[in-house]
A = this chain, B = another copy of it.
Amino acid sequence: MTANTDTALSASLQAVLDGRWADTRKVVRDHIQAAGLVPQAGVPLADYRARMLEAMAAMVPLGFPAQGFSSDDAPGDPGAAITAIETLGYGDLSLMVKAGVQWGLFGGAVENLGTAAHHREYLSGLIDLDVLGCFAMTETGHGSDVQQLETTATYDAATQEFVIDSPTPSARKDYIGGAAEHARYAAVFAQLRTAGPGQDRQGYGVHCFVVPIRDEAGHDLPGVTTSDCGYKGGLPGVDNGRIVFDQVRIPRTSLLNRYADVDPDGTYRSPIESDNRRFFTMLGTLVRGRVTVGASAGAAGRLALTLAVKYALHRRQFEGPGDGGALLLLDYRTHQRRLLPLVARAYAFALAQNAVTAQLHEVQSVPADTVDPDAMRRLESRAAAIKVGHSSLASHAAIEARTACGGAGYMAENRLPLIRDDLDVFTTFEGDNLVLTQLVAKDLLTAYAADVDDLDTVGWVRFAASMARDVALEKTAVRQILQSVLDSSDEAPEDSDLTDPETQLALLTGREDHLVRTVAARLRRATDDDADAFEVFTQTQDHLIKAGQAHIDRLALESFQHAVEELPADSPERAVLATVRDLFVYSTLEDDLGWFLMHRFVSVERAKAIRRGVNDLCERLRPVADDLVDAFGVPAVALDVPMLG
Could you say which of A361-369, A405-413, A559-567 contacts chain B? Answer: A405-413
Closest Cβ–Cβ distance, residue A533 to chain B (whole Å): 9
Q: Which of A597-623 contact B (CB under 8 A)?
A: 597-598, 600, 604, 607-608, 615
A545 within 8 A of B: yes
A425 within 8 A of B: yes
A424 within 8 A of B: yes
Which interface residue of A143, A407, A538 has the most chain B CB atoms within 10 A? A407
A403 within 8 A of B: yes
CB nearest to A337 among chain B residues:
B542
Is there an interface contact between A42 and B230, defined as CB atoms closer than 8 Å?
yes
Please measure, in the bound complex, the distance between the C-alpha atom of A332 and the C-alpha atom of B615, giving whole angstroms.
38
Closest Cβ–Cβ distance, residue A217 to chain B (whole Å): 25
A89 within 8 A of B: no
Q: Which of A405-451 contact B (CB under 8 A)?
A: 406-407, 409-413, 416-417, 420-421, 424-425, 427-429, 432, 434
Chain B residues with CB below 8 A from A332, complex form: 538, 541
Known: A417-B424, A428-B403, A434-B334. A410 touches B598 (CB 8 A): no
CB nearest to A404 among chain B residues:
B434
Q: Which of A216-262 contact B (CB under 8 A)?
A: 229-234
Question: Given A410-B424, A410-B425, 11 more contacts at CB 8 Å?
Answer: A232-B411, A233-B410, A233-B411, A321-B458, A332-B538, A402-B424, A403-B428, A406-B432, A417-B424, A597-B597, A598-B604
A470 within 8 A of B: no
Supply 25 A–B pairs (Cβ within 8 Å), ascending by A. Answer: A41-B230, A138-B407, A143-B406, A143-B407, A148-B326, A174-B407, A231-B413, A233-B409, A233-B412, A233-B421, A319-B456, A321-B535, A322-B534, A331-B538, A332-B538, A333-B538, A334-B434, A403-B428, A407-B428, A409-B428, A417-B421, A539-B615, A593-B594, A594-B607, A598-B608
Q: Which of A295-338 contact B (CB under 8 A)?
A: 317-322, 326, 331-334, 337
Q: Which of A527-586 contact B (CB under 8 A)?
A: 532, 534-535, 538-539, 541-542, 545
CB nearest to A229 among chain B residues:
B411
Closest Cβ–Cβ distance, residue A572 to chain B (whole Å): 27
Residues of A bordering B, CB below 8 Å = 41-42, 44-45, 138, 143-145, 148, 174-175, 229-234, 317-322, 326, 331-334, 337, 399, 402-403, 406-407, 409-413, 416-417, 420-421, 424-425, 427-429, 432, 434, 456-458, 532, 534-535, 538-539, 541-542, 545, 590, 592-598, 600, 604, 607-608, 615
Please measure, in the bound complex, the distance between the C-alpha atom of A144 and the C-alpha atom of B318, giving whole angstroms.
8
Please measure, in the bound complex, the distance between the C-alpha atom of A143 and the C-alpha atom of B334, giving whole angstroms.
17
Please measure, in the bound complex, the distance between the C-alpha atom of A320 and the C-alpha atom of B148, giving whole angstroms.
13
Please measure, in the bound complex, the distance between the C-alpha atom of A596 and the C-alpha atom of B604, giving whole angstroms.
11
Is there an interface contact between B412 and A230, defined as CB atoms closer than 8 Å?
yes
CB nearest to A428 among chain B residues:
B406
Known: A333-B541, A334-B542. A412 touches B604 (CB 8 A): no
Chain B residues with CB below 8 A from A411, complex form: 175, 229-230, 232-233
Chain B residues with CB below 8 A from A230, complex form: 41-42, 411-413
Is there an interface contact between A402 and B594, defined as CB atoms closer than 8 Å?
no
Chain B residues with CB below 8 A from A399, complex form: 399, 424
Please measure, in the bound complex, the distance between the C-alpha atom of A332 and the C-alpha atom of B595, giving whole angstroms.
23
Is there an interface contact between B317 and A144, defined as CB atoms closer than 8 Å?
yes
Is there an interface contact between A542 and B615, defined as CB atoms closer than 8 Å?
yes
Please measure, in the bound complex, the distance between the C-alpha atom of A582 and the C-alpha atom of B205, giving whole angstroms.
46
Please measure, in the bound complex, the distance between the C-alpha atom of A138 and the C-alpha atom of B408, giving whole angstroms.
11
Chain B residues with CB below 8 A from A333, complex form: 538-539, 541-542
Chain B residues with CB below 8 A from A319, complex form: 456-457
Chain B residues with CB below 8 A from A229, complex form: 411, 413
Please measure, in the bound complex, the distance between the C-alpha atom of A416 and the C-alpha atom of B174, giving whole angstroms.
18
Closest Cβ–Cβ distance, residue A150 to chain B (whole Å): 12
Chain B residues with CB below 8 A from A608, complex form: 598
Please measure, in the bound complex, the distance between the C-alpha atom of A593 and the C-alpha atom of B413, giving whole angstroms.
40
Closest Cβ–Cβ distance, residue A285 to chain B (whole Å): 23
Is there an interface contact between A593 and B604, defined as CB atoms closer than 8 Å?
no
Known: A421-B421, A542-B333, A545-B334. A42 touches B231 (CB 8 A): yes
